[in-house]
Each structure stands twice: as structure tokens, then as C-alpha cells.
Structure 1
Amino acid sequence: MTDRYLGTPAMPATDGSLTGPVPAHLPQRLAICLWDFSWYTRAGAGEPFADVDLAMRETVDRGFNAVRICAAPLLVAGSLGLDDLAADLAVEGLGPAPTGGYYGQRTRWYDTPGGYRLDVRARLFELLAAAKRHGLVVILASWEYQQSPSFAADPRWFEAIDAVPLDRRYDVLADAFGRLLDEIRTAGLLDVVAFTELHNEVDFSILPPVEAGGVVALERLRARHPDQLVTVSYGKPPHLAMHRLSPALGVAQCHVYSYGVLDALQQRIDIRSEGTEGFPNAELRALLRPDAPSFTEYGRPADWKLRATVITDQMVYGYDWIDSAAWDAWLDAHLDAYREVMRREIESRVIAIAEWAGWRGIPAVIGEGWVGYTPRDGRFEEGAEGLALAEHGIRTALEVGVWGVVACSNAAPHHPMWADVDWMRRVNALVTADA
């Protein structure tokens, strides 16, 4: 035992206490299932959300106690002249492809065949009522300035929200959520709402910085509903400079993706760009399915649909026609150089988020994570290595006092991972042990 003075740790040891208080009627830990906008874009006959009550039962059975959704506030409560559309939305997805099937058919989240009509407003309240019956809480968000309207057959939803000047978009979101929360309160369902995000991933959406109107909008929504937690979420928060986040956030809802080896592959095959000359390159062509049409033959979704999303025609083509086994094989073959970096990145980012939240005295939530965007039929993130990274993120989050954590962004009814019931039950039991 040395008696030398070796310095004082800059950060005290953590005991897992929450970074900030949460309302007493809510669970003390949230095991989050990411339903996103799929609860209304994958609600056709035989699809994962055709029966909301069944989807809720399956979610509870896997150990989740919270779902996070796009509540489509601008559509259902935005006062933008869309009431008729909200009551009778024709869901189309990205539209039919010229080679058969539909655009997005082998992507994640965009694999929407459509072909049905839905009363989104009525279905939202049905979802909230089902959550109450099954003992879940709901995180309300909006993906409308990121992709939700692109799944509609009618461009009116996108055109209406796109016509809102950039500097007023937080205002219309706050007003829409204010009206929606009024109605949820009147319906006796407000205790189901865990918190409200003005928008998902404001840093990756068609929105200005939060400081340009978002702070005032948050404060106005908070004044209208002072008993509610309100915030925005970040897709890639400034982990090295968390002081840049606004103190107006009522919840530190941040996403933690560690692309690592996945980013190396994406850059190699240039799959997420737009307008690349000579696309697809030789590296991507080597990974395509034998039956893949050319990029020109496949074409692209309607222009307005691409403008309504943050994905590109190169992404649609690449993910629709990639050989998922070849994709997984490349990741597995090159993982060794990235494994430890990815593990450390997840850990350091979770800690940075929790430390900032603790400094501000607000709850922290990791609403999405852990590896990144992969083809629908890829199994890298669902395999041993991906699950190990997810568990490391979950355990780290619990150790540093994070209130809510997602098992994995792919662990939801509309992803193949939904079949891994045992894993979800096990990791969610860790989250809710002290809930």
C-alpha cells in the first residue's frame, strides 16, 4: 500500500441514482421500445401494428414498459388544414418500384408496402388507451420534419409543413403538441405520457438549431403544460462539448450510435451520399444481389417523397439490393480493428450525456442506439457482437443514472429482431429491476 499522493479523481463514483427527478406516477426506469412512426405506416392487414392491442401485449411480454412514437402532431393537431387527411390517411410508403415490389422493400423503417387508409388521429388515442390498459407509458415525439409525411400517398401533409418558414417550425410544433396534450388530458390519458419531444433528432431534421426558436417554443409548451416534461432529442449530441446544449431541455434525450466498422463499410461503398458520379462503385457492386437492377433501371421515389425524408435515392437503391449476407460478412471480417473503439465510444457518450443531465438536474434518456443503420435483413447488430455492444451500453446507462434506455433501436415489432424474445426479456429485466 503506497502512501504517495496520486491526485483526486475529477469525477466522483456513481451509485446509479437518477440524474434528475421524474414525476412520481412514472416508472423510475424506462425500458423503451422504439415504435417510431411505424405504428401507423405498418398498420395494414397482417402487418406488425394492424392490431395495436396485440402489439402492446407483445411489447409488455418482452419486458418493455415504455414505447416511443411519432405522434404526428402537425398532422393531427397542427391547425394546418389537414384534419381530413388525419382522419383518412392513405398510406403508400415510398411508392411502387418499376422492377416490381416497392421502394424501400429491404430497408429498415422504409419497408412500407402501404395500400391502406387509416384514421391516424383515432388510432393515436387508441394507442394511448391500450398503453394505459397494459401499464406502459408513451414518449411523444414527431418525425414529421425527418420522414413521416413521405409515407403518405398525398403530398399535402409534406407541403403544408414545408410551407412553414424555417424560423417558425418549432412554434408550430409547440402549438400542435400543446393542443394535443390538452386533448389527451381531457381524455383522461395524460398519466400515460412519459414526456414530450418537440421533434426527434433536431440535428438531423429539416429544422434550424434549437437556439433559433426552439428554446422559446419549449418554454411556451412548458408554461401551457407545467406538469409535463418537454424537450427535443439529438441524434448525435456534442459529446465533447455538452455545455452547448440548451438549458431549456427538460430531458436529456440523446441517441448513442457507434458506427465504427459500419461507417467504414458505408464510406467504402458510398451508400449514403447523393448525386455521386458513377454510382454504384465497384465495392458496392461486389456486394449486390445477383438479381439487382442497375441504378438507372431501378429509378427513384417521387421527388417530393425524397424531399420529405433525410435519406437519398442512393440509400434506397443500395439497401434494397444489397446482399445482406455479404454485408454482414464484410462487417464480421473487419470488426477486430473497431471493436474496442466502438465499445469505448458507447461508454464515453453515455457517460457524457448522464454527466450533463446530472449537472442540469434533469433525467437522461438514451432513446435510440447502438450500432447504426443496417439493411433490414442484416444480422450484424442482432448477432453476438452487436448484442454485446448493446448490453454494454445498457449497463453503462444504468450505472450512471440514466432514466430510460432502449434495448436496441431494432428491438421493435417492425424489425426481424422482434423474434429474439429471450434477449429482450433479459436486458429489459436489468432496466426495470428498480422501476
Structure 2
Amino acid sequence: MTERYLGSGTIERDESSLTGPVPAHLPRRLTIILWDFSWYTQAGPGEPYEDLDAAVADAAALGYNAIRICAAPLLLFGGLGLDDLARDLEIEGLGTAPGGGFYGQRTRWYDTPGGFRVDLHARLLALFDAAARHGIVIILASWEYQQSPAFAASPWWFEAIDAVPLDARYRLLADAWDRMITWLTAEGHRSRIALVELHNEVDFSILPAPEDGGADEIVRLRSRHPDLLITASYGKPPHLAMHRVPDGLGAAQFHVYSYGVLDALQRRIDIRAEASEGFPNATLRALLRADAPSVASYGRAAEWKLRATVITDQMVYGYDWVDPQAWDAWLFENYPPYEQVMLREIASRTIAIAAWARWHGVPAIIGEGWVGYTPLHGTFEESSIGRALAEHGVRTALDHGMWGVVLCSNAAPHHPMWQLREWQRSLNAEILAR
């Protein structure tokens, strides 16, 4: 090894210290489990979140210390006349499909049969009570301008928030969060709040760009609650131009997905678009189950439900009827040319987020990642390949001072990956040991 001086660029920097300060009462590291809206949309008899206390206890037993949820602030505290609905919310999912079953039955997150009612006020309080019993903190977010209202039987929730002018939506969210924080404080749970996100993935929701009012509302909400970490999350932060992220965020809660080979497949089968001529194309037809109905005979969810979510009817049909073994076979066969690209992309995006957070002196979190949206019974992320990508992301995040990180967006009770218990326990222990 040479002792010659070859320039400052050859000197490695230790960037493992946290990118920014964390309130002293919160865990030194967060190992995050993503419950999103599923904690109330999959809470019926026999479903993963029927028993909240048991679900929280199970997460804690695997080493998780933070749960990230949609807390539905607009439904609960938006001042939109939805109080009665919030206390007796009928969960339907995307609705009954022709020939039996329901739309979204083989998707992730949308595999919600519904058929039960929930008092969301009481349920949120029960979650915080359970979190206190089991030493868990909560990351509060909203998916309401992205998908949550689509799971309700009634369109009232969606219609109420959709009626709010686009340029008033961030203020509406900030005011709702202010009231929710005040309520949780009165219930004795302020110290359980790890982070408040104005909204999940503001760049992929029915909201203006965050620089068009969102950052100002975050600053206003932070001034009301200076002891709390308050921010907004990005689904795809501008990694090559992070200066575009507006000032004012109290934390960097950004997501890192490296679609790579998955994106190649999705483009070939045109599954994320809508109203595509000739859908499904020949490539997708070759991947469908033998019993797949035609698009016309399968129909589609109610129009208002599709307006209330960012996924398309083509995604619902394709994911409900694709053969997961054929899907996986394509990904595994075509993965090798994408491997290094995906590994580098995960690392470079994670490092860019950490560098931005260190520049602004705020804690950094990866709240979602690593590959992307696959059919419910696809096993690519659960495989040794997918786990290696996840481990690479987690370790890169820790090496660059991330405060918190998700193991994988699919590692939660409502996904098959939940059965990889030893993998979760081991990786969580590694995170908490750093």
C-alpha cells in the first residue's frame, strides 16, 4: 500500500456518526416496520392486525422499535365533518370482483377483503397504548392523498379531502396534525411520537410540489411543536440535485427504491399505465395464470376508488392475475445484468440522502425500500437476492449516519416476508448494535 499523498479525494471520511441530533428521549437507532394503513384496513377477524397488542408485541419480539403508520389525520382531525365516519369506518377494500374474490386480492397492500367496521379514534389510542407497553415509538404519516380513503366503503372521506383546493391541502394537513398532536399529548403519548410526516411521498400524491407551500407548513407546524421532529417524505428524492429539496424539513425521511430488473419487466408488460391500447400485451399474457379472465370480464373497481389511489386498474388486473412463479422466473433469469447497477443505485441514493441531512444538520431515515412493488406472492425480495439488496441498503445507511432504517417495505405482518423471522431478528440486532 502506497504512502504517497494522492490527493484529498483518496482520504476516507468516517461518516458513521448521526447526520443530525435526535431528541434524547428517543431510541439511539430506529429499526422501522412499515404498517402504513394496513393496521386498520386489515384488522378484521383473522387478519394480521385484528389483535393490535399482539401485533405490537410480535414486532417488538423481532427487535423492531418503531412503527410507521398512516394515522389518517384528515379523517380524524381535519375539521371536515367526518367525525361520525371516523368512529364507525366501514372497511371495504377495492370491492367485490366478478366471479368471486375482490379487486386487489393478489396485490400487496390492496389485498383487503373488508367487511368490518373500525373506530379509528379508539384504534389509534389503542396502538399508542400498546406501543407504550412494548417499548415502541411511532412514526406518524398520512397516505390520505395517495390511497387510504380508497379502502372505505363510503366515498365521503375521499370526496371531503378532494374538495379541498390543491393549494390549500398542505395547510389542511398541518392544522390536522396540530390537533392530533395536541390530542395525543393530552392522552400522555407525546413522548411516543418519533416523527411526524406532513404526508407520505409528497412527490407521488395528489398534492402540489413541496416547495409550493408544503415546506412553509412544515416550518409553521415545527414552530408550534419545536420539541418534535416534523417533515415530509419523498418517494423519489432528487438524488442528483438534492438542492431542489426545500429548506425547513426537520428530518430527511426519504425512500430508496432501486427497481432495476423490476422496472425492466414492468415496462415490457406495460402494467403501471392506464388506458393502454391492447392491454394486456403479448408479454403480459404469457405471464398470466391459466384461469385469468379477460380485462373486460374482470371489470374494475368503482371509479371513485381509482381516483382515490395512485395505482391503476391495469396494475390491479395484472397483479391479481399474473402467475407469480412466471413473474419470479423472469426476474431471476434477467437479474444478473442489473445486479451491480442496483447495488450502486441503492448505495448512491442512500449516501446522497445522508449527505443532504448532514448538510442541514437533521436526522435521516430510510422509511421505505429497497426494490419495489411486486405481486403479493412474488418472492423476489424475499429471496437471497432481495435480502442481499436489503442488507446492502441497511448497512450503507448505517455507515453514513442514518438514524433509522426499514429492513424492507415488505417485512411486515401483511406480507409473506413476515415469515422470515430469523432474518428480521438478526438484521434488527445488527442495526441496534451500531
Q: TM-score range by the shorter chain?
A: over 0.9
SS of alignment partner, residue 140 of structure 2: strand
Distance 1:332 1:106 in 2: 20
Q: CA deviation at 1:82?
A: 0.2
Matched, 1:9 2:22: no
In 1, Cα distance between the equivalents of 2:392 and 2:256? 12
Q: Is the contact between residue 146 and residue 206 of structure 1 (CA under 8 Å) also seen in structure 2?
A: yes
Q: Does 1:274 align with 2:274?
A: yes
* Corresponding residue number in structure 1 for 2:243: 243
Equivalent pair of 1:31/1:64 in contact (CA under 8 Å): yes
* Unpaired runs of at least 5, structure 2: none
Q: Paired residues, what number?
A: 434
Kindly provide the CA deviation profile for residues 371-416 of structure 1, in whole angstroms up to 9, marking residues without a partner as x: 0000000001100000000000000100000000000000001001
Query: Residues 405-424 of structure 1: matches in 2 within 5 Å?
Result: 405-424=405-424
Q: Normalising by structure 2, what TM-score?
A: 0.99
1:39, distance to aligned residue in structure 2 (A): 0.3
Question: Equivalent residue for 1:122?
Answer: 122
Matches of residues 85-100 of structure 1 in structure 2 within 5 Å? 85-100=85-100
C-alpha separation between the residues in 1 aligned to 2:10 and 2:156? 54
Report what 1:153 is aligned to: 153
Letter in 2 for 1:397: A
Is residue 135 of structure 1 aligned with residue 135 of structure 2? yes
| Aligned residue type for 1:253 | Q
1:304, 1:75 → 2: CA distance? 17
Report the Cα distance in structure 2 between the residues aligned to 1:380 and 1:26, rounded to whole angstroms: 34
Q: Following TM superposition, by how much is the alpha carbon of 1:99 offset from its aligned partner in structure 2, in angstroms?
A: 2.1
Q: Give the Cα separation in 2 of the matches to 1:410 and 1:57.
A: 19
Which residue is equivalent to 1:231? 231
What is the alpha-carbon root mean square deviation over aligned residues?
1.0
Aligned pair in 2 of structure 1 residues 225, 11: CA closer, same or farther (>3 Å)? Answer: farther
State the alpha-carbon separation in 1 of the partners of residues 3 and 120 from structure 2.
68
CA separation in 2, counterparts of 1:303 and 1:35?
A: 26
In 2: Cα distance, 1:11 partner to 1:162 partner: 53
Tell me the secondary structure at the aligned position of residue 332 of structure 1.
Answer: helix
Tell me if structure 2 keeps the 8 A contact 1:343–1:389: yes
Correspondence 1:287-306 to 2 at 5 A: 287-306=287-306
Q: 1:142-198, CA deviations, whole angstroms, 9 ceiling, x for partnerless residues?
A: 000000000000000000000000001000000000000000000100110001000
Q: Which amino acid aligns with 1:300?
A: R
For residues 296 and 3 of structure 1, the distance between their equivalents in structure 2, rounded to whole angstroms, comes to: 70
8 Å contact from structure 1 (residues 99, 297) kept in 2: no
C-alpha separation in 2, matches of 1:190 and 1:246: 27
Q: Deviations over 1:15-55 (max 9, x none)?
A: 41100000000001100000000000000000000000000
Q: Which residue of 2 aligns with 1:338?
A: 338
Matches within 5 A, 1:6-45: 6-9=6-9, 13-45=13-45
Tell me how far apart the structure 2 counterparts of residues 195 and 4 of structure 1 sit (CA, whole Å).
46
- 1:198-253, CA deviations, whole angstroms, 9 ceiling, x for partnerless residues? 00000000000111111221112112111111000000000001111112110100
Give the conservation status (yes or no) of the 8 Å contact 1:141–1:199.
yes
| AA matched with 1:226 | P
- Contact between 1:261 and 1:334, CA under 8 Å: does it hold in 2? yes
Query: Structure 1: where are the runs of 5+ without partners?
Result: none
Report if aligned partners of 1:201, 1:233 keep a CA contact under 8 Å in 2.
yes
CA distance in 2, matches of 1:196, 1:316: 30
- Mapping for residues 163-178 of structure 1, pairs under 5 Å: 163-178=163-178
Q: Which amino acid aligns with 1:26?
A: L
Question: How far does residue 6 in structure 1 lie from its aligned partner after superposition?
Answer: 1.9
**Displacement after TM superposition at 1:78 (Å):** 0.6
Distance 2:341 2:211 in 1: 32
TM-score, with structure 1 as normaliser: 0.98
Q: Distance in 2 between matches of 1:333 and 1:215?
A: 44
Supply the AA of the counterpart residue of 1:254.
F
How big is each residue's C-alpha offset from its partner over 1:43-83, in whole Å with a ceiling of 9 and x where there is no partner?
00000000000000110111100000000000011100000
Partners of 1:21 and 1:82 in 2: how far apart? 38
Answer yes or no: is the 8 Å Cα contact 1:19–1:401 preserved in 2.
yes
